[in-house]
Structure 1
């Protein structure tokens, strides 16, 4: 019989410690009690959803004493289309006493959760730390998770170019060491590097006071002597790798990977296959330039020279694209055999984002002139941003820019805020307060929901609106278990997080890394064999189309751009908190399991 990681730990801790009452753990909850398993912030609404059984009353009970601390009435029952559940809402917004509680309805109880002023402080740190633990070419010995890696993919220092063109010959060896592994495999992709680093930088830019030195508890040997807050130091690690991927003409190589998918028994330091540098893509180049442009203005106050380096790298990409009018996605036979494509045959949205960030950073009107030349696309209502459509990010950058053309800026504002209002209406109509429409329960649906929350936080910077902030917070509640599956889609967070994420580091080393955001429900057939078989097994409600199994990469794989969406929101709602490594260990839902 398969025994879950959590159960094994509870049994082990009961033997060794004489109790299973460790912080962060609770007994199994009733499946119809849907709460944010991390917690609720004072000063904002606090609601949970309950599958209807006819009960009309609810109470909050102290998780330690069982004492009732609050009583209230459930809302009227209402059918939720995505989950196909009939729900009642428990609203305890007026209860503000800090502590750990459970929701009780009749004989049913929820998982426990905190109420307080800073309940997301530890999840914020863990989410950002997950990038450190995803570093390639870096010895890792992490005292929090137990992760030990000697040095992942040292061969990246002499990776081979996979193709021949006017700049390189096939077989040229280049140093492309550094950077973060993209997802559950060991590929390193410029596309997701660009959008992830950008969102992390924008999180810092929105709330710089929320970031400090010493905040991320860097494992020994990974921290540099610098005045940068830890968050910016971590992003710099990725930016420096991206610069290695820039070519002489200003363009970017597309990715670094092997020719075969490594087995799940292969840790980063035992995957010794040859590594190759693949492709070139104008959309990913433009995204890289946008990230460099953001970095230029953020790092300049700390290191003027580095800020200048970032600006020049962005401008070199702009110069390359100015000469390269047509979109390019280069693909050579065999290059996708051991890595994902991240292919896009157009690039207008990414060029817009690059131009807008360069305009915001430099004030040079030539970038605004380009935006005016593509105004038909630039002023359209956006969708949530993702690696293949960054229009919303370009619009946000332009709305934050100084000395912009008033008429153009007004049109962009109307489009951007119009989309934000669309998101709030979706949230208000959904039984769980989730931003996802039916056709948005796709691969990476968790990211889709969180990104829409991030857009609401960005919209709030343009035009303050409490509904935007509440809507963004609602997506964190969805992430941490206030959903029809009672599942936290963030590793190590809440009492029912993913146990079997599609992650080779996790599977090969036995170390469970918290803070990774997995894809979530995917109702589109063909995502992976397990998910496809599950959808064919019977009628599966859209919001429940998720599998917590290792091989379901379309529902249970993490990626750095998924995690970036959570990092942005958590960085808004979490304030710095004095903590130590022991506190992080106690908050973790799954201590590391060492493989024999």
Structure 2
């Protein structure tokens, strides 16, 4: 979702204060000359035993072939489907279905004289993007020296001033100017703020990825750079998420609630790396919805870490229970804001909190089995049993429903109601996916700020639906959202840095611009057809009739289309955890 405070940034004024480093090309084929447009493929590849489809802009041709990328030899031939107009892209499209091709290799799609970007077919084509996605969190660690042989990123350890961050306001628990150790955690996005909302929902999805596919994770998998120490006895993935959980727990207050965010008072220029942004750092706000999200993520963590560290798991559970106690004592939603607190960071503001309370209650019921949490869900059943939408930091209803449907000992009547709502929504997503020529689940109105995340979240929900009611079509629908991410879209754009042939080269990312290091695995926002996102995007939309699905700019200052965020990456990591298995990567093989 867009962070409205970014509108205070005048693009020209900010750009004038920034040094823009030349982008570093991460993969050799990123700079390759683009083929003729109109052959839309997943530039990473297709799994051997799953559907393999491409969208083809109509040129009058009715046949296609798949050719070996190295030799040009034809390995498969087929007929294109009838052409149909796609309103979202403005293209007349046909479909090439080569699902029957199961031989591993690297190929191109050929239609007439046109050839596509190369793509692989294999059993584990998504292993490297999966590692990139998880490593992107490692490389976004604050207060951590980084010496990464994969990307060349070198940081002395950003924002040491977080050790004594100043509380920005006075209330019953704190005085303005109190010092708090706010070290740790991941930078949220292209800026250096650290936010409870996105920290909670991102870490929760990563924990869910492990909980559901533990066999796909192991120690050494993320090839941690120098300066990052793996937690003893943990798979790298859980070691990484623990870094975020430990930071979040530092922001929990005596009454069980949490502070909302840590940031400076001004947006750093793009010449400022984390270790050269020396402005004072502050702890801002108090928000009941973000506190509830924090508690939900800890409740999941209590389950996940129990086999590895029972003491740590008990700590997580205890702190989640403290959040619940606070919310019981404070039934009214709260979003505290003080003058000036949004001048250098995004608000992530929500004036209500019911969906987040539901998520917390459901996760606590799943973790503890305590019926008091189920009793709360019954009390708010009018909302709890409604059809959800895709989950995001300001609406976690779907996550609450999934947690309850996954819990042991749930009430059969309430389970039936929630199941119908959840699976009904999943069926709607599946129908959209099967109707869309790109296999994308997005409706026209969902091409907003963070549309890529919206699609990936919808894919994640289809995987969740498959766990509740196994259905191969749900799995294929989920996989289709990865195909969209990796280039099977009307722009032929991979919306993840560092993968495919046509990746984002100018992400809205201060670490990239200030250091010249190109970090792979960052998921950028993608097409945004809502005006008022940022000056470049607004000007682009006003330039003419831009198709909804093409409303994207690979330019630095289009933060509403080309910024990444930790909660954008999380659903990609969740999907990839299902479809990718571990591979023996080294720093050299990840370059």
| TM-score (normalised: structure 2) | 0.95
Superposed, which structure 2 residues align to 1:331-342 within 5 Å?
331-342=337-348
Q: Matched residue of 1:54: which SS?
A: coil
Match status 1:187 vs 2:168: no
Shift of 1:579: 2.2
Structure 2 residue aligned with 1:582: 588
**Which residue of structure 2 aligns with residue 511 of structure 1?**
517
Aligned pairs for 1:12-411 within 5 A: 26-411=32-417
Asked if the contact 2:361–2:376 (Cα under 8 Å) also holds between the matched residues in 1, the reply is yes
CA contact (8 A) 1:279 1:331 kept: yes
Partner of 2:432: 426
**2:11 corresponding residue in structure 1:** none
SS at match of 2:452: helix
Q: How far off its partner does 1:25 sit? A: 7.1
What is the CA-CA distance between 1:578 and the residue it aligns to?
A: 1.9
| C-alpha distance after superposition, 1:124-175 (max 9, x if no partner) | 0010000000000000000000001101000000000000001000000110
CA distance in 1, matches of 2:170, 2:443: 44
CA distance in 1, matches of 2:324, 2:500: 44
How far apart, in 2, do the equivalents of 1:148 and 1:53 lie? 48
Deviation by residue 1:12-32 (Cα, 9 ceiling, x = unmatched): xxxxxxxxxx57775422211
Is this contact kept in 2: 1:30–1:108, CA < 8 A? Answer: yes
Per the alignment, in what secondary structure is the counterpart of residue 527 of structure 1?
Answer: coil
1:563 to 543, 564, 569: 569
CA contact (8 A) 2:298 2:316 kept: yes
* Distance in 2 separating the partners of 1:429 and 1:224: 45
In the aligned structure 1, how far is the partner of 2:149 from the partner of 2:304? Answer: 30
User: Does residue 464 of structure 1 match 2:479?
Assistant: no
Which residue does 1:443 correspond to in 2?
449
Once the two structures are overlaid, the 10-residue window that deviates more, 61-70 or 389-398, is: 61-70
1:65 CA drift (Å): 1.2
| 1:588 aligned residue | none
Matched-pair contact (CA < 8 Å) for 1:153–1:269? yes
Cα deviation digits, residues 325-355 of structure 1 (max 9, x gap): 1000000000000000000000000000000
C-alpha distance in 1, partners of 2:470/2:36?
38
2:587 and 2:271 mapped to 1: Cα distance?
29
Instruction: Give CA deviations for 1:405-428 in whole Å, capped at 9, x if unaligned.
Output: 000011000000000000001111
In 2, Cα distance between equivalents of 1:229 and 1:304: 16
Tell me how far apart the structure 2 counterparts of residues 499 and 169 of structure 1 sit (CA, whole Å): 44
Higher RCO structure (Cα 8 Å, ≥6 apart): 2
Q: Which residue of 1 aligns with 2:12?
A: none
1:473 is displaced (CA, Å) by 0.4
Could you say if the C-alpha distance between residues 93 and 579 of structure 1 is closer, same or farther in structure 2, counting changes exceeding 3 Å? same
Would you say the 8 A contact 1:26–1:112 is kept in 2?
no
- 1:34 and 1:483 in contact (8 A); partners too: yes
Residue range with higher mean Cα deviation, 219-228 or 515-524: 219-228
Which position in structure 1 is the counterpart of 2:7? none
CA contact (8 A) 1:79 1:431 kept: no
Shift in Å, 1:9: 8.1
Q: CA deviation at 1:223?
A: 1.7
Measured against aligned partners, the alpha-carbon deviations of 1:199-250 in whole angstroms (never above 9, x if no partner) come to 0000111100000100000012312341110000000000000000000000
Map 1:469-508; keep pairs closer than 5 Å. Answer: 469-508=475-514
More divergent stretch after superposition (330-339 vs 223-232): 223-232
TM-score by length of 1: 0.95
Secondary structure (helix, strand or coil) at the match of 2:46 reads strand
Task: From the superposition, tell whether residues 168 and 531 of structure 1 become closer, same or farther in structure 2 (CA, over 3 Å).
Answer: same
**What CA distance in whole angstroms lies between the structure 2 residues aligned with 1:3 and 1:547?**
18
CA shift at 1:5, angstroms? 4.7
Secondary structure of the 1:64 match is: coil
Matched, 1:537 2:543: yes
- C-alpha distance in 2, partners of 1:289/1:339? 23
Q: 3-state DSSP class of the match of 1:66?
A: coil
Mapped to 2, the partners of 1:75 and 1:223 lie a distance apart of: 52
**Per-residue Cα deviation, 1:531-566 (whole angstroms, up to 9, x for no partner):** 000000000000000000000000000000000010
Does the 8 A contact of 1:26 with 1:111 survive in 2? no
User: Unaligned stretches of 5+ in structure 2?
Assistant: 1-19
